[in-house]
Amino acid sequence: MRVVLAQPRGFCAGVVRAIDIVEKSIEKFGAPVYVRHEIVHNRTVVSGLEAKGAHFVDELDQIPDGAVTIFSAHGVSRAVVEAARGRGLPVLDATCPLVSKVHSQSRHYVEQGRTLILIGHAGHPEVEGTLGQVDAPVRLISTPADVESLDLPRDTPVAYVTQTTLSVDETREVIASLKARFDDLVGPNLSDICYATQFRQQAVRKLCESVDVLLVVGAANSSNSNRLREIGVEFGLPSYLIADAHSLDLDWVRDKATVGLTAGASAPETVVLEVIEALRQVADVEVTQMDGVEENISFRLPPELRHPDDQLVGAEA
């Protein structure tokens, strides 16, 4: 069996930064630290951080007074920020800088007096955070059909922003529908969609041209991982999203000569290696890596974690 690894795959810079924030917070301030929601959408990552002393909670009221508090990579609403400030919780914000950029764009468009449209998936933590970033109604859409159902006059000044982890192709179609629907439309360049999302999707499209089956390592609630599997389906390939090696049904690959393997942006490389070992149960495995983008992007940590003497204090109400 030949196993071809997509390049790039796995952790992006935003995920690396978020995990580093949790680990370095534990090192500097001691366990436990409290994280609102999963730091990233991956159970392996979350379990590993729990073992080191991180406690993951759904809401701020589950965090003890004075405890180090971390916001997840997906971002939070302004109401959550204000609630933490009101309690004086010492906060480290692990929001991905690319998500923070969407928040800033959203506020800018609303300040211009435009009706804001968010292209994204209802219920996703990133979407919930972005919806709560502006003091105005936001129209959430996800498909071209949703554009047609918007109850806005054609000449309404509107602006759009996007969930960072969406499909580039699907977002392009929705934006095209918005341009056809409204006369006064502004929005960020399509390249503002997360670089990691774009690169991983491009790599999987290339991968699908030369394999018999596609395996995507990632969580079921990971938007970008689900999209990678969907690309394989579009190519007519048997395509499976697996959380880890234990989720792999060897019958999926038993008679396949070439297996394509990739990982979503929050899936660790250790799990990819475990999947390869599981594949060795059915065949001799030759592993190759396709040519692709070499990512060298990194994001800075909060200053309290960059400078040894800086202390994290609760924000004043």
Residues acting as catalytic residues? 126
Element (H or E) spanning 161, and its range? Answer: strand 158-162
DSSP structure class, residue 12: -
Q: Give per-residue burial for 54-87: e unless 16+ CB within 10 Å, then b.
A: bebeeebeebeeebbbbbbbbbbbeebbeebeeb
Pairing relationship of beta strands 33-36 and 54-57 according to DSSP bridges = parallel
In the sheet that 2-5 helps form, which strands lie side by side, from edge to edge?
239-242, 213-217, 258-263, 2-5, 286-289
The shares of helix, strand and coil residues in the chain, as percent rounded to the nearest 5, are: 40, 15, 40
Rounded CA separation 269/266 (Å): 10
Q: Which residue has the tokens 């999302």?
A: 197
Beta-carbon contacts of 6 under 8 Å, excluding residues fewer than 6 positions away, are 200, 203, 204, 206, 207, 260, 261, 262, 263, 290, 292
| ∠ CA 39-45-50, rounded to 5° | 80
Rounded CA separation 166/223 (Å): 7
